[in-house]
Amino acid sequence: MTEATLNRARAGDQEAFAQLTNPYRRELQLHCYRILGSVQDAEDVLQETLLAAWRGLDRFEGRSSLRAWLYRIATNRCMNALRDSKRRPLEARRDLPQPTRMSEPLWLEPYPDEMLEGIADLAPGPEARYEAKEAVALAFVSGLQHLPARQRAVLVLRDVLGFQASEVAEMLDGSEASVNSALQRARATLDSRLPASRERAPLPRSARERELLARFAEAFESGDTAILPHFGLPRTLRD
């Protein structure tokens, strides 16, 4: 982002605004999908986010990155959408199929594979706990739907996208202590919902991560190709 482009966008240049925001559109939509569980709702909130950013660009002071500022808008719009859906009269939702269990989300749809091209492999921040592929799995997104809106947002921002606690606190107008507390509760709930047998990504700089790196280096140096599939390498690299 250049200052000249930002100034042009603030002056009403829509092309300049598109140059600023287009690099983040698809990842923002995926972010909204994780929180809302609906591709259509995610697209609607994305449009609301971009409109709010366009109208409020003068208030962007540059203290955070433009990406973080957009995520702040998108996250809060998602939380508003979740609150609105709870207030919606039940009569307006009679056409929806009944859940098999009352604790299950009414609607949950997978994210189309073609929409993941170019964004699913983006390296998350250093605070991320989940790999990109795991964080778009239907089981993961379904588990998120059981969390309260704030916990859901905190977990996605911290453990999926890797934002720091201080950044998330600023996005949600809260304190780092409240963010860490919400994250702890969200992790406990989500861990109880996800399949226990799934392969979890190790925490950054954890003993598990160091162990995996050491095993990989040892297997690579010894030419032990039989163990390499356990590290998720494509066949072309293993061969």
Interhelix angle 39-55/25-36, rounded to 10 degrees, is 130
Residue 74's H or E segment, with its range, is helix 66-87
The answer, yes or no, to whether residue 237 has pLDDT greater than 60, is no
Of residues 64 and 43, more confidence is placed in 43
pTM: 0.73
Interhelix angle 39-55/66-87, rounded to 10 degrees, is 120
Q: How confident is the model over 31-61, as pLDDT tens digits?
A: 999 999 999 999 999 999 999 999 999 989 8
Q: How confident is the model over 137-162, as pLDDT tens digits?
A: 888 898 999 999 999 999 999 999 99
Q: What's the DSSP call for residue 172?
A: T
CA distance 93 to 159: 32
Helix (H, G, I), strand (E, B) or coil at 83: helix
Position 1 scores a pLDDT of 63
The answer, yes or no, to whether residue 215 has pLDDT greater than 60, is yes
Which tokens go with 204?
């950054």
